[in-house]
Chain A
Amino acid sequence: QSFKLLGFLDVKNVPCARESILYGSLGSLVMGLGHFIATSRVRRSCDVAVGGFICTMLGYWFYCRYNLAQQRIRQRMLKEGMKNRILFEGSYLDPEKEQTGRERSDS
């Protein structure tokens, strides 16, 4: 079952979406309340709150998606490495065999 914010953003199933919305709400609350406490201006505090929500949400979104992309690249490299290890194990292309040979020659 999915929950779609404003009818189109599936917050449950899109990676990083839920955290972005939550951090955005928190940032909005903090910035809006902080501005109001500092200046006692309601209208401007509302503007700051909305701006803070958008900026915090988008900021965390980019940060989270960047980390996710890096993780996926590492996963792909790991998968490729494991496949190559299984494929070349015991053969002359096995990098572990070269390493063991080098250790023996060093000792």
Chain B
Amino acid sequence: MANHSQFGFQDASSPIMEELVEFHDHALMTALAICCLVLYLLTLMLNEKLTSNTVDAQEIELVWTILPAAVLIMLALPSLQILYMMDEINEPHLTLKAIGHQWYWTYEYTDFKDLTFDSYMIQTTDLPLGHFRLLEVDHRVIVPMESPVRVIVTADDVLHSWAVPSLGVKTDAIPGRLNQTSFTASRPGIFYGQCSEICGANHSFMPIVVEAAPLANFESWSSLL
């Protein structure tokens, strides 16, 4: 989960999120380079050192056409690579359905048996000591770690969005439509997310908690349902 006043990404818990974080670092470094150039040019302009001899010349036209094109290519290539990586068909080991309601999630594990449960936020007054306010739920989504999991997201009433930042997942839940996403939890742990599409009064109070566990633990949990 995010710490208080955290501005950056949460630690990556899936390979896709690791790639996204790396691309973000790359984009920021490019942005820094551009900012340095712009600041320098601004300084020159403020000191009246940048004259029309420079900006009206033919060479500068070439520079300020080729340079932005190069920057765009530098950003677009890794971006597209990650985009296609996210859409790879990877034979998921498990399919999970997440259905958004006002204001809770329903999860269905229907690969082998019909396992369905609702996931409501635990109210602050009922929260055990040491648990996270507005993030804990009564029933978590348990998934096996290091296994590709497919999530089919939809909604029952209004728009919602199923998001877990540390897994690099955010998928809109649209009534009447099935959206598919997938992730692989690289390590065991508990990953928190929140509904990411405004859906009414309690939009901020329908969190998502994904618990990645070793396969044996997942099997024993699913046999209890």
Q: Which residues of A contact B (CB under 8 A)?
A: 2, 5-6, 8-10, 13-15, 17, 20, 43, 50, 53-54, 57-58, 61, 65, 69
Contacts and interface: CB of A to CB of B under 8 A. Distances in A.
A interface SS class:
helix
Interface stretch (B28-36, B122-130, B132-140, B191-199): B28-36
Contact of B33 (A8, A15, A58, A65): A58
Closest 7 A/B residue pairs (Cβ): A50-B40, A14-B25, A54-B33, A9-B28, A9-B32, A61-B29, A58-B33
Given A10-B8, A65-B22, A54 B29 contact: no
B interface SS class:
helix
B26 interface: yes
Contact of A8 (B22, B28, B40, B49): B28
B37 interface: yes
Contacts of B49: 43
A2 B26 CA distance: 18
B81 to A, nearest CB: 12
Contacts of A2: 8
Given A20-B29, A57-B29, 7 more contacts: A2-B8, A8-B31, A9-B31, A10-B8, A14-B28, A58-B29, A65-B22
12 contacts: A6-B35, A8-B32, A9-B29, A9-B32, A14-B25, A14-B28, A14-B29, A50-B36, A50-B37, A50-B40, A58-B29, A58-B30
A53 to B, nearest CB: 7
Nearest to B41: A50
Contact of B32 (A5, A43, A65, A69): A5
Contacts of B31: 8-9
A69 to B, nearest CB: 8
Contacts of B25: 14-15, 17, 65
A6 B30 CA distance: 13
Contacts of B26: 61, 65
A3 to B, nearest CB: 13
Nearest to A53: B36
B37 A54 contact: yes
Nearest to A76: B15
A6 B32 contact: yes
A82 B18 CA distance: 22
